[in-house]
Structure 1
Amino acid sequence: MTHRPLLRRLAVVAAAAAVALPALAACSTGSTSEKQDAAKPTTEVDADAFPVTVESSLGVAEIAEEPERVVTIDYVDADAVLSLGVVPIAMQKVVWGGTEAGSTVWFDEALAEIDGAEAPATLDMTDGVPVDEIITMAPDLVVGTGGALTPADFKKLTNAGIPVVGYPGAPWFTLWRDTVELVGQSLGRSTRATEVIAETEGAIEDARTEHPQLEGASVAYAYLNPADTSTIGFYNAEENRPKLLAELGIETPAIVSEVVPEDVFYQTISSERAADIDADALLTDVESEAEIETITADPLYSQIPAIAGGHLYAEVDHTIALPMSAPSPLSIPYAMEHFVPKVAAAIDGAGA
């Protein structure tokens, strides 16, 4: 799931009711107009794994036997399923930070290691979850642990006889470990899920050791809008971006907890409070180098101490930024290699 596209999607939902780069030649993404055959899993199920009951905030999934045709809804769901050796037959199309085929470089790399595996069909989620399209694909499991699934989606899929695994708490607050554990339970591969979590934690620990300046540093992950510099946005300290930073030893500035309610994913403050953002570094995503120039030259944004002191890290490459909003066993190693060194540089004062 999420980043600028998610913020736009949440805005659409709120209005109705109430967040880089080349595709690998080895993989081509299928079309949902073609019925996908399920690839043979590369891992075995645990003994006595089925039947299993999986609970989520949306309801209960009764899974009688090993699922063979799995559809994933959120970005992390697809990565988690593939990390356990199962290829989904369909997944959400990745637009922001994805490849030309609607996948990601880390998903494609993992898929290429499975002999004969075809790329999943992609689901256009511009207008929400395409429930009717999913039903026609005859899946025996739908996984949506992130937040895109609505209660109505869950009910319609369940009424069609399809087990659905939703998010364990509030939407958009599911952490990558929770997703892996739920997917492991649903696929009968909890043992492998435990191994995958340990391997991913190892990648995080390696990055933490390689960049000691991360330990105890105060870093704010913000959204700065060059088109409207009157506000500064912050992600909840329990959201994926700050939580992944915390695993690296980084602390969230006090102002974030002050202005973002516990049950709110994202909140803005007036840019008049720019000088109050006391952090060793500030991170944000931008669309171009020109936006960085706009941000650093703005009379209000430039009062943020981290910007004034050269501690801003503004990522232009969406492929590098995406793993922070959608951390998974496949994307986290990519982030540790490409994103984290730039965070360390910003802490050191070598920011954008």
Structure 2
Amino acid sequence: MKNSIDRLPGGPLSRRSFLLSLSAGAVAVGLAGCGDDGDPVTGGSAGADAGFPLTIKGAEGDTVLPARPERIVTVGFMRDIDEAVSLGVVPVAVTPATNFDSGLPPWVEAKLGSAKAPEQLSYEDNLPFERIAALTPDLILATDSYSLADDFANLAAIAPTLSYETDVAEDTWQTRVTRIGRALGKTDVASRLVTEVEAGIATAKEKNSAALAGKTFSFSLLNGEGQLATIILPTDASAQFLSSLGLTLSSKVKDLEQAGPAGRAVVSQERTDLLDADIVLFSFRDSDERTQVESDRLFQALPAVKRGAYVPLEVETALSMAFPSTLSIPYALEQIVPKLVAAAGKA
């Protein structure tokens, strides 16, 4: 959920100032790449030249790869890290996922296991372009970067940079892992992951159809101003995840006027009743937010809350369906579906 991002990459250095500060030698080394340590997560590796050279078109620019990349840096919010690790490639460095204390989502940490975690790039506003260049990557993954329109030129001056296909908020998780898999020379692995994850969703839907099919839901959070904000679009990533399980977005919220981030509507405290549904979900960034919402008498008066069909989620868990990937979706199925089934039993 975009409201829940603590920090997204800020504005870039000017293209001119950055390019002038970067020596030609550094650029050349970045494109040449370094040695391969194999695939420490899953083991094995694709043939070094299979499918290369190749060009992948993107919304912000094309990615030209002369050979299979071996040193990867990710600068997206979260899903670039997810998909690289899911495909068996540990980046040399990543921008931290700041909603998590460790800087890495739990599903990434679980997949890494005993493998060495990537370096986390420290920065305040602008991406640390000089540090990224010093790492000599031969591919920068930026399909999940919300500042890529500003940063692409600077990043592409360091190494081939993979953009989103259409828009960071519009590419599906299937599109993202397919693009990253192609760039990493792991097209077959990416295809297998898509099949496995889609099968997992279908299994969860079938297994819980008696409990979830046809039940309505609302999903809300507090926005940056402390107001109630609720999802109003069935195309929202979280709504799509819940709908894939057989749930339906409540008709009470579908026609509300959008306010703030795309797909959200602000609901006044006096109209908290609009959030009622068979299942009411709420995401909280901390205990203070949860107390603020749950202590309100109008929230307590919601029929769903009174009968126990209310599902509170920590933001870390909510992000697993709000920013779907081949690693986060199985985590969401494991962590969220049992709560939904329990709530549906009281609907």
TM category (shorter chain) comes to 0.7 to 0.9
**In the alignment, structure 1 residue 109 sits paired with structure 2 residue 110:** yes
Contact kept? 2:4, 2:285, Cα under 8 Å: no
Within 2, Cα distance between the matches of 1:82 and 1:236? 30
TM-score (norm 2): 0.79
Q: CA deviation at 1:233?
A: 3.3
1:146-165 matched pairs, under 5 angstroms = 146-160=144-158, 162-165=159-162
Task: Provide the residue aligned with 2:251 in structure 1.
Answer: 254
Q: CA deviation at 1:98?
A: 4.4
**In the alignment, structure 1 residue 91 sits paired with structure 2 residue 94:** yes
Contact kept? 2:317, 2:332, Cα under 8 Å: yes
Within 2, Cα distance between the matches of 1:238 and 1:297? 31
Within 1, Cα distance between the matches of 2:99 and 2:215? 29
Letter in 1 for 2:247: I
Structure 1 residues 132 and 5 mapped into 2: Cα distance closer, same or farther (>3 Å)? Answer: farther
Within 1, Cα distance between the matches of 2:266 and 2:221? 9
- Describe the superposition over 1:236-284 as per-residue Cα deviations: whole angstroms up to 9, x where unpaired: 4323211222222222223444236599253423333322335211212
- Describe the superposition over 1:101-148 as per-residue Cα deviations: whole angstroms up to 9, x where unpaired: x223322222226xxx42111123652533332222111111111233
Letter in 2 for 1:328: S
Which piece of structure 1 moves more, 43-52 or 166-175?
A: 43-52
Structure 1 residues 168 and 269 mapped into 2: Cα distance closer, same or farther (>3 Å)? Answer: farther
Letter in 2 for 1:297: S
Within 2, Cα distance between the matches of 1:225 and 1:266? 9
Structure 1 residues 314 and 155 mapped into 2: Cα distance closer, same or farther (>3 Å)? Answer: same
Contact kept? 2:164, 2:171, Cα under 8 Å: yes
Q: CA deviation at 1:323?
A: 1.2
TM-score (norm 1): 0.78
Structure 1 residues 10 and 253 mapped into 2: Cα distance closer, same or farther (>3 Å)? Answer: farther
Counterpart selection for 2:80 from 77, 81, 103: 77
Letter in 2 for 1:201: E
Gaps of 5+ in 1: 14-35
Larger gyration radius, structure 1 or structure 2: 2
State the percentage of identical aligned residues.
28
Residue aligned with 2:242, SS? helix
Corresponding pairs, count: 319
Structure 1 residues 271 and 204 mapped into 2: Cα distance closer, same or farther (>3 Å)? Answer: same
Within 2, Cα distance between the matches of 1:205 and 1:267? 30
1:55-70 matched pairs, under 5 angstroms = 55-70=57-72
Task: Provide the residue aligned with 1:53 in structure 2.
Answer: 55
Residue aligned with 1:57, SS? coil
Counterpart selection for 2:118 from 117, 120, 140: 120
Counterpart selection for 2:269 from 265, 268, 271: 271
Structure 1 residues 232 and 104 mapped into 2: Cα distance closer, same or farther (>3 Å)? Answer: closer
Within 1, Cα distance between the matches of 2:300 and 2:286? 18
Structure 1 residues 45 and 238 mapped into 2: Cα distance closer, same or farther (>3 Å)? Answer: farther
Counterpart selection for 1:298 from 296, 300, 305: 296
